[in-house]
Amino acid sequence: MDNGVFNIILDYINIVFFVFTVVLFTFFTLMGYLSTRNSLHYKDKNSFGDLSKVMASPLAPSITIIAPAYNEEMTIVENIRSLLSLKYVDYEVMVVNDGSKDDTMQKMIDAYDLEKIEQRIDPNWKSKPIRGIYKSKHRSFAKLTVIDKENGGKSDALNTGMYLSTNQYVGCIDVDCLLLPDALLHVVKSFYQQTEKRVIAVGGVIRVANSCVINGGALEQINLPENLLAKFQLLEYTRSFLLGRMAFGWLDSLLIISGAFGFFDREIALAVGGYDTNTVGEDMEIIFRMRRYMVENKLPHTIEYIPDPLCWTEVPESRKILINQRDRWSRGNLETLYTHKEMFFNPKYGRLGLLSYPYWFFYEWLAPLLEFFGFFSIILFYYLGIINLPFFIAITSVIYMYSIMFSLYAILWEVFSYNQYNKTTDILKLIGCALIEPFIFHPIVVFAAVRGNYKKLFKIKSGWGTITRKGFAKAT
């Protein structure tokens, strides 16, 4: 009898895994379909007309790009130069020096001939003290504002920028990101084209810039990353941004926009108190809060998503840095989901509560944990001799085939929509990555997620960690 009960339990475990897998497949297939529809619509809609004509329109809104900088002395001057050369008239670049310990501030002062200006600051504004606000003496750098403040983390720096900006829209980006010249035009279009709903935020695709050739702040040549980890990440980003977020965008259920390229309606962002300084997943958390604010105040709203490759960034090439990054992401994910737990299957929040939140809960937070514990259970069951080997092999095969299929679909869509990697060998390499990813890259990501959850659960202190950038390759 005992053995019988144990077998029943095992059978139910199999059922749970099977159902979980089937739902996952259904969800991802649906996502593929929706993203295809959305991408086709987007492509057709933007197939004629010229964006750049409106860049100097008197009706074009003013935008502030906030770029927090912490110990960026090596690249700061060049990165600011790149931000200052965007194709748009009415914008401001606000670099927030978040108490850098190196020479970041001095480098900026010297390169852009900055001088301190006087500005009244709300004494009740909660952020780390501002040491000074600087503007350039040169007209050519009139768009640049540098804020020097005490260290308070990325969120605190972004909040300071958001508060000091006077423009209608603020863009929060990573200072080491490369924005394409017409990025702001796309952003403005996204903010401005809606009439039924208020666009509270705009996000976009993040592209992998490793091994690409950059010259004078402009992307000159797109190459496939040479590093294997970077290649895996490229494939992952393609799947996530081109299929996942595009589908959620179509459903108007986006609950995250990347911290590397996110634009906000400043009024709403300030109304919810800006970024949360107590979480490492601030980019996701602010979207949750803004969405909730709008729903609770019964204000029709939406978040737009731009699939055009406008923002390029360097991804980690070392395993250690990658694990740190993913560890932080999973902690942020958990913190945000916990903070907004009222949304879980709450019909009050519509699709956000019934679809997006559960997706994030089950497939972004829970899935890696299930995978991790499932893996050890299988080893244990095998050792105990109670594993249902045929079932295990069958379910593993179907999951593996599905992951390959989904990755290939993402590559196909990349070729169809933007075709950024012209060489056939590049595509073959990406397909190769799709084949081996479940054995090499995926375990690393799962491990990082488990580590993040473990740290969060046992309150092990861990901050942002550092990402060492190699810097973009310069054109020769």
Partner 1 sequence: MKLPTLNIYSLVKAPLIHQDLIWDLTFLFGGLSVVYFSCIFYYKSKLKKHNVDKAKRKKELTPLVSEFLFYNEKEGSLPEKNSYINKKIEIRELLKNHKNKAVLTEILLDLKIDVSGETRLVLFKLYRDLHLDEYAFECLHSFKWVKVARGMFQLTQMQATEYYGFISKFINDRRPVVREQAEISTVTLLHEGISYFLDNTKYKISEWQQLKILEVLTNLENFDPPRFYKWLTSKNKYVVLFSLRLIKHYDQNDGEKSIITLVKHKDAQIKKEAIHCIKKFNFTNSRKQLKAVFWKNKVDVKIAILDTLAEFGFEEDIAFLETVENKESNFLVKSKAISSINSILPGTVVPTENIEVLTPEENSSIKVNIKEETLKVDLTEEEEEIIEHILTEREVGIIDDNSIQTKGSKSSVFESLFNFCDLETKLFMIDQMVEIGSKKEALFLQTLIDHGNKAVRKRALQVKLQLEKSVDLLENGIDYEQNETTAKKEDVEVKIVENVNVLLRDNEIQVIHNTQLKSLEFCFLKEEVVVPKPFDILEVEFHMDTLKPFISKERQETEGFNNVVEANGGLTKDERNFFNKYLEFPNSSKDKFNG
Range 302-331, binding partner 1 (CB under 8 A): none
379 binds partner 1 (CB under 8 A): no
Amino acid at 441: F
* Alpha carbons 321 and 272: distance in angstroms, whole number: 32
446 binds partner 1 (CB under 8 A): no
Token pair recorded at residue 229: 């980890």
167 binds partner 1 (CB under 8 A): no
DSSP sequence for 187-226: HHHHHHS-SSSEEEEEEEEEEE-TT-EEETTEEEE----S
Describe the strand order of the beta sheet including 144-149 as a list of residue ranges: 114-117, 130-136, 144-149, 91-98, 63-69, 169-173, 261-265, 198-208, 301-313, 178-179
Range 387-406, binding partner 1 (CB under 8 A): 390-391, 394-395, 397-398, 401-402, 404-405
Task: Provide, rounded to whole angstroms, the least separation between the CB of residue 39 and partner 1.
Answer: 14
Three-state SS at 254: coil
* Alpha carbons 229 and 319: distance in angstroms, whole number: 8
Token pair recorded at residue 461: 């202190």
Question: How far is the first Cα of the chain from the last one, in angstroms, to the nearest whole number?
Answer: 75
Task: Provide, rounded to whole angstroms, the least separation between the CB of residue 399 and partner 1.
Answer: 9
Q: Applying CB under 8 A, which of residues 23, 30, 45, 129 lies at the interface with partner 1?
A: 45
Q: Applying CB under 8 A, which of residues 3, 424, 425, 476 lies at the interface with partner 1?
A: 424
Amino acid at 344: F
Nearest of 430, 74, 63, 388 to residue 237 by alpha carbon: 430
Q: Pattern of binders to partner 1 over 19-38, x per CB under 8 A? A: ------x-------------
C-beta of 135 vs 469, nearer to partner 1: 135
Q: Applying CB under 8 A, which of residues 369, 427, 444, 467 lies at the interface with partner 1?
A: 427
Task: Specify the stretch interacting with partner 1 by CB under 8 A; choose among 10-18, 85-93, 311-319, 345-353.
Answer: 10-18
Q: Applying CB under 8 A, which of residues 2, 3, 58, 425 lies at the interface with partner 1?
A: 58
Contact between residue 244 and residue 254 where contact means Cβ atoms under 8 Å apart? no
Contact between residue 67 and residue 93 where contact means Cβ atoms under 8 Å apart? yes
Q: How are beta strands 301-313 and 261-265 bridged, if at all?
A: unpaired
4 binds partner 1 (CB under 8 A): yes
Token pair recorded at residue 395: 């379910």
Token pair recorded at residue 372: 């991790």
Amino acid at 290: M
- Number of residues in contact with partner 1, rule: CB under 8 A? 59
* Alpha carbons 399 and 444: distance in angstroms, whole number: 18
459 binds partner 1 (CB under 8 A): no
C-beta of 61 vs 438, nearer to partner 1: 61
Range 172-201, binding partner 1 (CB under 8 A): 188-189, 191-196
C-beta of 260 vs 272, nearer to partner 1: 272
117 binds partner 1 (CB under 8 A): yes
Task: Specify the stretch interacting with partner 1 by CB under 8 A; choose among 44-52, 175-183, 312-320, 447-455.
Answer: 44-52
- Contacts with partner 1 by CB under 8 A lie at 4, 8, 11-12, 14-15, 18, 25, 44-45, 47-49, 53-54, 57-61, 115-118, 120, 122, 124-125, 132, 137, 188-189, 191-196, 267, 390-391, 394-395, 397-398, 401-402, 404-405, 408-409, 411-412, 415-416, 419, 424, 427, 431
